Chains A and B, each alone.
Chain A
Amino acid sequence: MNHAMISARHVTKRFTEPVDFTVLDDVSIDVQEGEFVVLVGPSGSGKTTLMYALSTLDTVYDGTIRIDDTDIRSLSKNQLASFRNTMIGFVFQFHYLLPDFTVLDNVMLPAQRLGLWTDEEMEDRAMQKLALLGVADQATKKSNRLSGGQQQRVAIARALMNDPKILFGDEPTGNLDTKNTEVVLDILQELKSEFKQTILMVTHDTAFANRADRIISIRDGRIV
């Protein structure tokens, strides 16, 4: 069970515009399967940049990143898209639900790209995810009719739709009040403990950080 889900080696990223600036400076980390890891650090520390690199959205850096033993940069653009589709789920600070789509339709979007399941199967799975997040009763509503906390829960359900190996998050509770933050954190912990979900989140919320298995602290592009 000691299998590194994410393994980053000597990841360095520099900007030359507008000024020479090293965002990530020789970062090497491992995230084990089933681990709940949180990246913390002050703003501008490079924690978000690292998360985007680890989550395959950003591929411009030196060094190597492997996810589930696949070198990310050996994949073409389209392969990378498929890789994200099957392996990775995202939760951002903003929910990014498509307005004018129902909650159910939003959750099914990743599965429709995947194209593995029939309509009924997709709907069943989506309903299961929504039930897990406690928003199954909202399934037929338009996504922009929901409260902020509900929307973020739907966004997590969507991220889980294709059963990703890793769930990435960028300040997923940043827009939520204390009560909803608690709900989301409970859900994340439940995912970790009951489904052995590998989770990597960026946050500067200490309450959030304290729930994680491990806290990785970043300052000036280095792990401290």
Chain B
Amino acid sequence: MNSLFSKRPLLRIAWVHLFSKKRQTIVAMLGVMFGVTVFIFQAGLLTGLQNYFIEKTVNTTAHVHIYNEVRTARPHVVTRYIDTADRWVVVRNQKPRDEERKVKNGNQIIGLIEKDPRVEGVAPFLGLQGIFRFGMSQQAGTLAGVDIIRENTLFKVQENLIDGDMLRMETMPNGIILGSGLADKLGASVGNSIIVISSKGVALDMKVIAISKTGITLQDNTRAYISLRNAQRLLQQSGSYITDINVRLRDVNQAQAIAQEYQSKYGYRAEDWKAANANVFGIFRIQNLTVTFVIISILVVSGFGIFNILMTIIYEKMPDIAILKAMGYRDADISRIFLIESLAIGSTGGLLGLLLGFITSKIVGMVPLNIQGFVSVQYLIINFNPLFYLAAFAFALVSTTVAGYFPARKAARFDPVEIIRSR
């Protein structure tokens, strides 16, 4: 210790200062530690859940979704001929036109997209509302008419099954795969026969061949897979009728560009997965902002703690500062003493905070919690991205340096004569 300090009297003075104010130093360190812990924990928790959601979303929604955007609110034909700039035109009770949701030439488009080397898989989709009936219980939900083999290349249907086998859809013409929440509400399990009724009034007898659980609560509670043919029958449509085309890309980051390309190429609305989940990403942004504010305010408070202790030390150690200056120590030496002190508090508190943040995250990640929210998870998913640890530590150092800067500058500007003469 002695040899470490002998060439560095400033370091030694700083050390002695902090040591003479043990309690306050520890409190200031705890402040930084707490800030960093919250940073690590909150950021890990938040981005862990968000990443989990994004991963689930990427696996359960199409990277590019092509569909026929039906505009129900349309301008009345009268407005085409009458100038509405200086008069009112009121047309009451205009009904939506019976527009086809159909994607025309859907199979040809699928054939073309399939040849695109950037595409991993394409699947047709026919979505409709329906009512599920099992004995006396009845549930409304959505039906996804799919080509199950193609659907599986896109959305890992088989992986998400908790009971039954997807491939029975191929051999059993009236097979249905229920979402786990939907199956629970109906009280149905694999092997049961249920009745599905469409809005066109068509009822089909179907046999539950599998139960699926994706982890995305909304889907699990309402959705069922049936074959494309059965969906067309429920809507009384021919074999070429599909409403959507889902595309899975090799590189998910190209989704936006490819969606734009397909939209202009095929003349149907093509939406990438981020746009489709824009509301969720909006919520993420607000979450991130909130947490950022919490973290910043904690670090600001801990910064004030450091500022406070340094000011106390400076006023108490004025005679030391005066004599150091008289014996030839420069202003920069003096301010360095106090910057060293704030950095010592910041880095020690920061390191402890990293450790505590890591431990807290590990412990919380082990506690079983069955959460049914956006997504259903058994454990909190925590992101241990080392970048957070780096950022938290850097943030701690920066905030403590800022907090230490003003006291340090003040100390450097003390006039030794004034201090000595006032004694």
A interface, CB within 8 angstroms of B: 48, 52, 57-58, 77-78, 81-86, 88-90, 92-94, 96, 98-101, 105, 108-110, 112-115, 119, 122, 158-159, 162, 170
* B residues in contact with A88, CB < 8 Å: 328
Q: Is the beta-carbon distance between B20 and A57 smaller than 8 angstroms?
A: no
Q: Is the beta-carbon distance between A96 and B322 smaller than 8 angstroms?
A: yes
Question: Which of A77, A98, A115, A158 touches B13 (beta carbons < 8 Å)?
Answer: A98
* 20 further A-B pairs in the complex, CB-CB below 8 A; given A86-B328, A99-B20, A113-B9: A52-B421, A78-B331, A84-B326, A85-B328, A89-B327, A92-B420, A94-B319, A94-B420, A96-B320, A96-B322, A96-B323, A100-B19, A101-B12, A101-B16, A108-B9, A109-B9, A109-B327, A114-B328, A115-B7, A158-B327
Query: If the complex has contacts A96-B319, A98-B320, are A82 and B16 also in contact, measured as CB distance less than 8 A?
Result: no
Question: Which of B328, B330, B333, B423 touches A94 (beta carbons < 8 Å)?
Answer: B423
Q: Is the beta-carbon distance between A82 and B328 smaller than 8 angstroms?
A: yes
Q: Is the beta-carbon distance between A112 and B9 smaller than 8 angstroms?
A: yes
Nearest CB of B to A24, in Å:
14
CB-based nearest B residue for A93: B423
- Tell me the bound Cα distance from A222 to B7 in angstroms: 45
* A residues in contact with B319, CB < 8 Å: 94, 96
A to B CB contacts below 8 Å, 11 in the list = A58-B417, A77-B330, A84-B328, A90-B323, A94-B420, A96-B323, A98-B323, A113-B333, A115-B7, A119-B3, A122-B6
Q: Is the beta-carbon distance between B327 and A84 smaller than 8 angstroms?
A: yes
* B residues in contact with A85, CB < 8 Å: 327-329
- Tell me the bound Cα distance from A96 to B12 in angstroms: 17
Instruction: Choose among B19, B328, B331, B423 the residue with the greatest number of A CB atoms under 10 Å from its CB.
Output: B328
Q: Is the beta-carbon distance between A109 and B417 smaller than 8 angstroms?
A: no
Q: Is the beta-carbon distance between A110 and B328 smaller than 8 angstroms?
A: yes
Q: Is the beta-carbon distance between B417 and A81 smaller than 8 angstroms?
A: no
Q: Is the beta-carbon distance between B421 and A48 smaller than 8 angstroms?
A: yes
Q: Is the beta-carbon distance between B320 and A119 smaller than 8 angstroms?
A: no
Nearest CB of A to B8, in Å:
8
Q: Is the beta-carbon distance between A100 and B16 smaller than 8 angstroms?
A: yes
Interface majority SS on B: helix, strand, loop or mixed?
A: helix
Interface string of B398-423 (1 = CB under 8 A from A): 00000000000000000011001101
Query: If the complex has contacts A94-B319, A94-B423, A98-B16, are A119 and B7 also in contact, measured as CB distance less than 8 A?
Result: yes
* B residues in contact with A92, CB < 8 Å: 323, 420
* A residues in contact with B331, CB < 8 Å: 77-78, 81
- Tell me the bound Cα distance from A129 to B127 in angstroms: 96
* A residues in contact with B13, CB < 8 Å: 98
Interface string of B327-349 (1 = CB under 8 A from A): 11111110000000000000000
* B residues in contact with A108, CB < 8 Å: 6, 9
* A residues in contact with B320, CB < 8 Å: 96, 98
Q: Is the beta-carbon distance between A109 and B324 smaller than 8 angstroms?
A: yes
Q: Is the beta-carbon distance between A81 and B421 smaller than 8 angstroms?
A: no
Interface residues of B in 1-40 (CB under 8 A from A): 3, 6-9, 12-13, 16, 19-20
- Tell me the bound Cα distance from A147 to B1 in angstroms: 27
- Tell me the bound Cα distance from A99 to B20 in angstroms: 10
Q: Is the beta-carbon distance between B327 and A119 smaller than 8 angstroms?
A: no
Nearest CB of A to B327, in Å:
5
Instruction: Tell yes or no: B150 within 8 A of A by CB.
Output: no
Q: Is the beta-carbon distance between A112 and B7 smaller than 8 angstroms?
A: yes
- Tell me the bound Cα distance from A92 to B6 in angstroms: 25
Nearest CB of A to B152, in Å:
73
Q: Is the beta-carbon distance between B19 and A57 smaller than 8 angstroms?
A: no
* B residues in contact with A112, CB < 8 Å: 6-9
Instruction: Tell yes or no: B325 within 8 A of A by CB.
Output: yes
Nearest CB of B to A54, in Å:
12
* B residues in contact with A77, CB < 8 Å: 330-331
Question: Which of A81, A99, A100, A170 touches B330 (beta carbons < 8 Å)?
Answer: A81
* A residues in contact with B329, CB < 8 Å: 81, 85, 113
Query: If the complex has contacts A94-B423, A112-B6, are A57 and B326 also in contact, measured as CB distance less than 8 A?
Result: yes
* B residues in contact with A98, CB < 8 Å: 13, 16, 320, 323
- Tell me the bound Cα distance from A96 to B327 in angstroms: 11
Q: Is the beta-carbon distance between A170 and B333 smaller than 8 angstroms?
A: no
Interface residues of B in 109-144 (CB under 8 A from A): none
Q: Is the beta-carbon distance between A113 and B16 smaller than 8 angstroms?
A: no
* A residues in contact with B20, CB < 8 Å: 99-100
Nearest CB of B to A87, in Å:
9
Q: Is the beta-carbon distance between A110 and B327 smaller than 8 angstroms?
A: yes
